[in-house]
Amino acid sequence: MARPVKWRRVCSLPERNRFGPLGLKEGERSYIRMTVDEYEAIRLIDLEGFTQEECAEQMNVARTTVQGIYVAARRKLAESLVNGKVLLIEGGEYRLCEGRGGGCGRGCNHHRRNGFSAEDSPTDKD
């Protein structure tokens, strides 16, 4: 029997889910996909100043899991910046928090939850 998925707690979806170089024509674009939980690890560690331990507690996963998520996210950011790829933030194994009363604490960004929805398909939009 397969191990059940352990959902990563994410406080909010990003306000924007597409980033990249300006002035590229549609045919010149190449994409790299970052999951929402990778975005959350970058937000908590690099923007909010959390340690990996604090980030793990906030996301409700092990520290070693956060370390792997964080390494993958940084690699994707670097590839996007260095190689001029469009970064799309979508998907992943996550659940949105319920706000401050739902177990979130310092660093909760729940009020920005009105970003993009899972139904938004960023692949054909500008």
Please return the burial class of 59, using the count of CB atoms within 10 Å of its CB with bins 0-12, 13-18 and 19+.
Answer: buried
The tens-digit pLDDT sequence of the chain (126 residues) is: 887 878 899 988 899 999 998 887 777 779 999 999 999 999 999 999 999 999 999 999 999 999 999 999 999 999 999 999 999 999 999 999 876 555 566 666 654 443 433 334 343 333
CATH T-level assignment (fold) for domain 31-93: Arc Repressor Mutant, subunit A (1.10.10)
Residue 73: strand, helix, or coil: helix
User: Which pTM does this prediction carry?
Assistant: 0.77
Residue type, 45: I
**Vertex 59: Cα angle to 48 and 77 (nearest 5):** 60
Burial class (CB in 10 A: 0-12, 13-18, 19+), 15: exposed
